[in-house]
Copies of this chain bind each other. A is one copy, B any other.
Amino acid sequence: MEVARLAGVSPSTVSRILNGTAKVSDDKRLAVLAAIASTNFAPNPMAQGLKKGRSMTIGIVVQDISSPFFDETLRGVDDGLAGTGFASVIVSGHWNEEEETDRIRLLLARKVDGIILLSGRLSDAAVLRFSTQRPIVSTGRDLHTRNALGFKLDNEHGAMLAMRHLIELGHRRIAFVTGPRHNNDADERLAGYKRALHEADIALDPKLIVEGDFHEAGGLLAISHLFESQQQFTAIFAANDLSAYGVRLCLYRKGIRVPDDISLIGFDDLPGSSYTTPPLTTIRQPLYDMGRIATHALLRLINGETADSAIPPLELVVRETTRRVR
């Protein structure tokens, strides 16, 4: 080492000072520190990693890097990582099981010290399998092993919260815009929709359930179809906020007022939802907190500690797209 030479000590001593591995006399310590400062030396992480088997990097798997849904969580991860010395490599699975598998393999090949999996299509079994190589925490699943931890929100309950709100406002004919097929969260929200109807003794009308895709375009299309099929309804529950935005636009195009003519409720509470016109009533997911909490948990798993999977619950945020039916 350059620094060692400059300070007139051996490389080992420099290493000891950098890592606090052993006691070093004050004079040498000072000399080394000075040499480090003058060289502005920093240890090479690749060499460290090679030696210690730790890359000080964690992998994050999102599904879409430009979706506000994931980005809010990423912000939590980012803050959770601050000051820990860990950096993160973010990859996208694009809601595609194969791609997701591929990306995780890639992260593992890069020797990340742990993985945060946000949503996705992977089976729990697959996640468990990967977790034998590195600790994994994941949102949207129930997992509790030494190396894998899941953070699951009660989507069905959240959907019931939304429905009860609508029902309390006197709505009976409530349309539901689903998420994409085979999506867990989407399925559970649909279940909540049905259960709330049942709970309130309102007959389920399958015609009021239309298929969306968790995106604006899908929401818009879904509701257009509903109008074409001449259904009557006074409220719409969209399986996520993005769909609700699309629904909102469809309503605007038809000259239907929200909430005067039709009430609308979403799910997620994306950052933009307090600035839609009018601001959207929705079910709040603690996206940022989930990011932070999942990160802390992963760090604990990496250190061989245990972690729990408690997260804040879903809650109803009443804004201005819902009102009492006339």
Binding site for B on A (CB under 8 A): 42, 44-47, 49-50, 55, 57, 64-68, 71-72, 74-75, 78, 87-92, 106, 109-111, 216, 220, 245-246, 248-249, 252, 271-272, 274-279
Contacts and interface: CB of A to CB of B under 8 A. Distances in A.
A66 B71 contact: yes
Contacts of A50: 44, 46-47, 50
Given A46-B50, A277-B276, A66 B68 contact: yes
Copy tally for this chain in the complex stands at 2
8 contacts: A44-B111, A46-B50, A46-B111, A65-B71, A66-B271, A67-B71, A246-B275, A276-B277
Query: Which among A65, A216, A248, A277 has the greatest number of chain B C-beta atoms within 10 A?
Result: A65
Contacts of A67: 71
Given A66-B75, A276-B277, 18 more contacts: A44-B50, A44-B111, A45-B109, A45-B111, A46-B111, A66-B68, A66-B72, A66-B74, A68-B68, A87-B89, A87-B106, A216-B272, A216-B275, A220-B275, A248-B277, A249-B277, A249-B279, A252-B278
Nearest to A82: B92
A74 B65 contact: yes
Contacts of A275: 216, 220, 245-246, 248-249
A325 to B, nearest CB: 22
Interface of A is mostly: helix
Given A252-B277, A276-B276, A279-B249, A110 B89 contact: no
A92 B78 contact: yes
A60 B272 CA distance: 25
Contacts of A55: 46
A45 B47 CA distance: 11
Contacts of A42: 109
Nearest to A49: B46
A326 B144 CA distance: 65
Given A44-B111, A71-B71, A78-B65, A245 B272 contact: yes
A181 B153 CA distance: 41
B277 A45 contact: no
A274 B219 CA distance: 14
Contacts of A277: 248-249, 252, 276-277
Contacts of A88: 89-90
